[in-house]
Structure 1
Amino acid sequence: MTTETNFTHINEQGKANMVDVTEKNVTQRQAIAEGYIRMSELAFSKLKVNQHAKGDVLSIARIAGIQGAKRCSDLIPLCHPLMLSKVQIDFETLDTSRQVRIIALCKLAGQTGVEMEALTAVSVAALTLFDMCKAVDPLMEIDGIRVLKKQGGKSGDWQVADKKVGDNKVEQLC
């Protein structure tokens, strides 16, 4: 029995299906995502002066975020493997809230977007920060993971409608 659906990731038999992008135009595409990890005062102060027992936690989290973006299609079942041309991970320490803001930029020239890669980069960087700092603070919180800005492709450019997109960290990435 076949049924016609409007779902993009389900075929006529109702089975999971990776979208065929063969006929889509190759365009320049990029996405910027962010996320936050909040930690105790002790964990945050150790992070800022690079004194966690596991070493330079921000450097390791940056590498992990880059690796996460590159492995996105291995983690998210119907994502296409992409030839990323740039992955950049930046961190901003927010003293008043004891948070680390993680910002990821992913770029390519291709037939499908890079939002999932940017989100995965942020997520893996945040999880790595958690892993590296959990001996000092096992109660850290990860939140606020979202796409801030997307450029290129059929659906065009868009960004969230709040002040964070215009901040210096994001503008430096563009």
Structure 2
Amino acid sequence: MTEFTHINQNGEANMVDVSGKQDTVREARAEAFISMNAETLQMIIAGNHHKGDVFATARIAGIQAAKRTWELIPLCHPLLLSKIEVNLTALPETHQVRIESLCKLTGKTGVEMEALTAVSVAALTIYDMCKAVQKDMVISQVRLLEKCGGKSGHFIAA
């Protein structure tokens, strides 16, 4: 098993020194789901929400969150992301919204945390905008789908 990279020899939290690493193209995709009542989802789809376009707001929030991941997760590096995509898909048959992100850069460290933060904050934004209508929505299945670039190579979730 690989050792934890954010713990030093004394067991203390430690920001990894990436200065000696090669710049490579790095990409990560993540997803999350938010489940809700059919009526809540229909209100979002129809654009009848009194707070405005829920998907547009969640997309912007996810993009902004990816850019600021280093401020939220203590040991993350500030990154110059070259691409951030946040896509939201209504799934009426299961009363869910699927959120998928893509983050990309050329740099010394991966973008998995940025992709995961993007979907998490997009889901939280949907919850925030819709909580007046429904408080028992559930955010679930936040996970990394794929990452490529860097020393650890290509990963695709099963």
TM-score by length of 2: 0.95
| Stretch moving more, 17-26 or 6-15 | 6-15
Select the residue among 76, 81, 103 that pairs with 1:79: 76
Alignment of 1:1-12 (within 5 A): 7-12=4-9
Aligned-residue offset at 1:12: 3.5
Aligned-residue offset at 1:14: 3.1
SS in structure 1 of the partner of residue 97 of structure 2? strand
SS in structure 1 of the partner of residue 93 of structure 2? helix
In 2, the alpha carbon distance for the partners of 1:16 and 1:54 equals 41
Matching residue of 1:151: 148
1:102–1:125 CA contact under 8 A, matched in 2: yes
List gaps (5 residues or longer) in structure 2: none
SS in structure 1 of the partner of residue 8 of structure 2? coil
In 2, the alpha carbon distance for the partners of 1:124 and 1:54 equals 17
SS in structure 2 of the partner of residue 69 of structure 1? helix
In 2, the alpha carbon distance for the partners of 1:12 and 1:32 equals 32
Which residue identity does 1:35 align to in structure 2?
Answer: A
Q: Which runs of 4+ in 1 moved over 4 A?
A: none
2:38–2:92 CA contact under 8 A, matched in 1: no
List gaps (5 residues or longer) in structure 1: 1-5, 162-174
Bigger Rg over Cα: 1
Q: How many pairs were matched up?
A: 156
Select the residue among 43, 49, 52 that pairs with 1:52: 49
SS in structure 2 of the partner of residue 59 of structure 1? helix
Aligned-residue offset at 1:15: 2.2
Identical amino acids, percent of aligned pairs: 58
In 2, the alpha carbon distance for the partners of 1:79 and 1:42 equals 39
| Structure-2 change in CA distance of 1:14 and 1:160 (3 Å) | closer
Q: Deviations over 1:23-58 (max 9, x none)?
A: 011000000000000111111100001111111010
In 2, the alpha carbon distance for the partners of 1:132 and 1:72 equals 22
1:27–1:153 CA contact under 8 A, matched in 2: yes
1:42–1:136 CA contact under 8 A, matched in 2: no
Matching residue of 2:23: 26
2:29–2:112 CA contact under 8 A, matched in 1: yes
Aligned-residue offset at 1:159: 0.4
2:69–2:113 CA contact under 8 A, matched in 1: yes
In 1, the alpha carbon distance for the partners of 2:20 and 2:151 equals 12
- RCO comparison, higher one (Cα < 8 Å, 6+): 2
TM-score by length of 1: 0.87
Matching residue of 2:90: 93
In 2, the alpha carbon distance for the partners of 1:12 and 1:35 equals 35
State whether structure 2 residue 83 is matched by structure 1 residue 108.
no
- Bigger proportion of residues as helix: 1
In 2, the alpha carbon distance for the partners of 1:18 and 1:64 equals 26
SS in structure 1 of the partner of residue 34 of structure 2? strand
